[in-house]
Chains A and B, each alone.
Chain A
Amino acid sequence: MASTDISLHKDLHHEHDVHDEHDHHDQHFIFKYIFSQDHKVIGKQFLITGIIWAFIGGALSSIFRLQLGWPQATVEWLEPILGKWVEGGKLNPEFYLGLVTMHGTIMVFFVLTAGLSGTFSNLLIPLQIGARDMASGFLNMLSYWFFFLSSIIMFTSLFLETGPASAGWTIYPPLSALPQAIPGSGAGMTLWLVAMVFFIVSSLLGSINYISTIINLRTPGMSMTKLPLTIWAFFLTAVLGVLSFPVLVSAALLLVFDRSFGTSFYLSEIYVAGEALTNVGGSPILFQHLFWFLGHPEVYIVILPGFGIVSEVIATNARKPIFGYRAMIGSMLGISLLSFIVWAHHMFVSGMNPFLGSVFMFLTLIIAVPSAVKVFNWLATLWRGNIVFTVPMMFSIGFVSLFISGGLTGIILGNSALDIQVHNTYFVVAHFHLVMGSAAFFGMFAGVYHWFPKMFGRMMDEKLGYVHFWLTFIGVYMVFMPMHYVGIAGFPRRYYSWTSFDLFQSFANINMYISLAAIIAWAAQFIFAFNFVYSIFRGRRATVNPWRSNTLEWTTPVNTGHGNWPGPIPYVYRWPYDYSKPGAAEDFIPQNIPYSQTESSNMPHEKDMA
């Protein structure tokens, strides 16, 4: 692509220097592929680790759904894998709680935070803003390896004799502080805390890098309002992370003190395992405030990248500008801001002052408004488009559907009076699995299929992708729609079985059906795994811009090397959404095409920019 860059000489000299720094042809394998400082390699490292964790997290849920779907059945056939955790053919109830806890921890943090943000922020930020790499390649490399260390520790905790952490992924004390209350709160909880501290270090290193890079390293012409929505999403996600993860560290630190150093931040007047503890004066509610101060922004950290990816993929594949670009930025900003002041809607029945309940209900229901705006804008983007149903597009449309479904039930949960009835029931489980477990995953799938050619120079198989999409889309709805009914009926979450109560004798069929659908949906993911691995080696070779997209990453060579652009970095002239512009030769105009070259399609206000 031609460029009107007149300072060629200066740039060449600059590139030469940069080229020298990165021109380590004799770079050892270890520093090129393992402790790499190249953002693209690091992105792939995060992706592969995230995918492995997703299968582990899904396997855990399949096991406990066996118990819930077939409560009378015996599972001795699982003894080879689970060992002593199968007692007399039944799953040990404490281990059941460990499975539930680890499933949540793995999916929320390791897959949907590290696996999602870590992959796409790393891969796309330098490529889409026009930078050679992240601001600090070294910190970036550390970010992955701290994540790896955290993963090893968390994985190890699954195999402890006393079991992994078992107090729910929300690990409320006193249960998580007292090993005598549940064995998993011994070594398992200790390893959980250590792993999470390393995880948060990784996340912070990454976030700081993403923010600095976006602010400082945009190529000339790339103003903030010409950024693709993916970058806006990753930027806000990183800001949320920097501001909220440290609070989880503080919650964890105080918990470490209570567990090991005799303090009473969260403990007061406890008699457990035949002993009256001496701790007085602490409050379990303090932990909840600290935890949810991260916990709520965390779920927006999980969904925001999906917002960005889906906006990008829908615009590209509908061959139409994203409708309401500025409104999309504004709504993401609004959601990010509001996400900090709604945390106590998780605590309506915690015993906190009811006045806070009113305040947080009010703030929570405000957040529905920018979310609605985003949905309407996506619908308006599809309207009168010319839609190509690539696999990423399918997942993006699925994302919108799942986000609508899951988001709407949030309106019920945000109402404190209604929450009295549905708090901690399967209604909550259905809600967050639709928005996080389904919508966010669909955003991730859309991203993987869409940027696979950029990562590996090959395309993933399309037909397998369609099969994967339809099985998963139908699967998640079959699992989580009926779950709402179970929740409305008051069935509590984290229950091993419901046989003790007359109240919960119904829905045996639905629970079985949910378990069956869940296991099938999990099995369907192996199609994706096969497609992913196979296509890395034997996929159809990609062209430079297989999706005919406008953003800068598609101006790099198919096998993008170190430094991304072999020559000078492109200069940016226009926003990324000039699709199907009237008068244009093609139905897309990339960002680095100057207005002087598109006289036929320039709008009146663009004529003087030519």
Chain B
Amino acid sequence: MITIAILLALGLLGVILFLLFRIQSLNSIFRGSFNKRVSASNRINAILFLVFLVVGGGAFFWSFSDAMKDFVVPVASVHAVWIESMFWTTMVVIGIVFVVTHILLFYYSYRYQYQDDKKAYYYPHNNKLEIIWTMIPAIVMALLVFSGWKAWTKITNPAPKDAVVVEIVGKQFNWLYRYPGKDNVLGVAKHTLIDATNELGIDFTDPKAMDDIFFSSGDIHIPKGKPVLFRIRSRDVTHDVYQPNFRIQMHAVPGMPTRFWFVPTKTNAEMAQETGNADFKYEIVCNQICGRGHFAMRATLVVDEPEDYQAWLAEQKSFAESNPDLVAKAKANQLQLVSAKEEAKSVKEAAL
């Protein structure tokens, strides 16, 4: 019933609009607007452009300042500060160009609207002007590129040797993470070894894997003021580790580990104070379309004072320790493999 009523209403609206259109059409024929070079609309549109400039410009500046409190993401790492300052410098530069060109565009449209007694100025080119307005943007771009390049190389240079390493692995639809333990080396992991318990496929025949600490949930902990290197991988499709406060972002690619290092500068407590959110936790966001749960891949992260971080780390048990049966199984497989090889070897020797 409601559907029919809505359709009828829409139909009626359509008829009314059509009639208005026909009336307007016939009206302009009677008024002879088609005989003039331009109709009254010309002046109206010229004024509307000016109105658009003023009202639109005003609305834009108002909305920008109104939204500012919501779009400024507090910085929390050393390089985030460089990126933030470069972002706003660039915004100021493009902002100036935006305002000046739009003023010219809409003002010229208004100022040079058609007048019967006027004639346009036949001015086909001016090469000197072309050179000037090529060189100035070129110089501005060069300056922007140079500062961008400097920041980029500093950010993407290899991490310092003493960086805290955390492996973050994306999968549909959550994050897994691993710490290298006391030996500071992540053990070998193979996708062929993955199962419900050993979600990373850690290979326990590798001695380096014995002290690895593995999580599939809970908070990642990192120390404030120290370099932290994220070793980023994926188990299935391409994901993306994105943390806006740290200004870090890097694809998680299956088959190719990637990395991003940074120095966090604010603990959770400090951020809680700054944002007014007592329950503040850094959140890691998946930023590459990965399927159904793409919007819900959340990892939480805690930045501790260095002592607190050490204390937390000391409390963690290695994955091998918590899952002795897994280790035993791996060792048994390895023994089987070794004895199979030896058997093959003796068979071969006997044959010769």
Contact = CB atoms under 8 A, between A and B. Distances in A.
B240 A324 contact: no
A376 B133 CA distance: 8
A421 interface: yes
A321 B123 contact: yes
Interface in B74-128: 82-83, 86-87, 90-91, 93-94, 97-98, 101-102, 104-106, 108-109, 112-115, 118-126
Contacts of A23: none
Contacts of A281: 255
B122 A582 contact: yes
B199 to A, nearest CB: 9
A386 B38 CA distance: 11
A409 B94 contact: yes
A474 to B, nearest CB: 8
B91 to A, nearest CB: 7
Contacts of A421: 83, 87, 244, 247, 249
Contacts of A388: 37-38, 42, 114
Interface stretch (A44-52, A153-161, A268-276, A556-564): A268-276
A349 B130 contact: no
B237 A174 contact: yes
Given A387-B112, A388-B42, A408-B94, A323 B123 contact: yes
A591 B42 CA distance: 27
Contact of B255 (A270, A397, A404, A587): A270
Contacts of B280: 502
Most A CB within 10 A of own CB, among B97, B242, B248: B242
Interface in A519-552: 540
B30 interface: no
A394 interface: yes
B197 interface: no
A305 B152 CA distance: 35
Contact of B250 (A349, A415, A470, A496): A349
Contacts of A324: 124-126, 130
Contacts of A318: 112, 120
B248 A420 contact: yes
Interface stretch (B212-220, B285-293, B316-324, B325-333): B285-293
B138 interface: yes
Contact of B289 (A168, A272, A404): A168
B73 A490 contact: yes
A523 B305 CA distance: 55
B290 A175 contact: yes
A481 B138 contact: no
A327 B134 CA distance: 10
B60 A481 contact: yes
Contact of B119 (A284, A357, A400, A587): A587
Interface in B137-192: 137-138, 141-142, 144-145, 148-149, 151-153, 155-156, 171-172, 190-192
Interface in A322-357: 322-327, 349-351, 354, 357
B256 A283 contact: yes
A602 interface: no
Nearest to A482: B63
Nearest to A584: B122
Interface in B274-327: 277, 279-281, 283, 285-296, 298
B28 interface: yes
Contact of B254 (A174, A182, A415, A495): A174
B50 interface: no
A244 to B, nearest CB: 23
A453 B33 CA distance: 18
Interface in B224-272: 232, 235-238, 240, 242, 244, 247-251, 253-256, 258
B285 A492 contact: yes
Contacts of B237: 173-175, 178, 181, 270, 272
Contacts of A362: 145, 149
B56 interface: yes
Given A415-B145, A492-B285, A271 B137 contact: no
B314 to A, nearest CB: 29
Given A276-B191, A384-B112, A93 B295 contact: yes
Contacts of A481: 60, 63
Given A271-B236, A351-B250, A394 B45 contact: yes
Interface of A: 93-94, 97, 167-168, 172-175, 178, 181-182, 267-272, 276-277, 280-285, 318-327, 349-351, 354, 357-358, 361-362, 365-366, 368-369, 372-373, 375-377, 379-380, 382-389, 394, 397, 400-401, 404-405, 408-409, 411-412, 415-418, 420-421, 423-425, 461-464, 466, 470, 473-474, 477, 481-482, 485-486, 488-490, 492, 494-498, 500-503, 506-507, 510, 540, 577, 579-582, 587
26 contacts: A172-B289, A178-B236, A267-B254, A268-B254, A270-B255, A271-B171, A271-B235, A284-B255, A323-B125, A323-B126, A325-B125, A368-B137, A379-B104, A383-B104, A404-B97, A404-B105, A409-B94, A412-B87, A415-B90, A415-B145, A418-B86, A421-B87, A485-B71, A490-B242, A577-B124, A581-B122
What 10 A-B pairs are tightest by C-beta distance, nearest first?
Answer: A268-B255, A354-B156, A490-B244, A351-B258, A580-B120, A384-B121, A506-B70, A415-B148, A417-B151, A408-B94
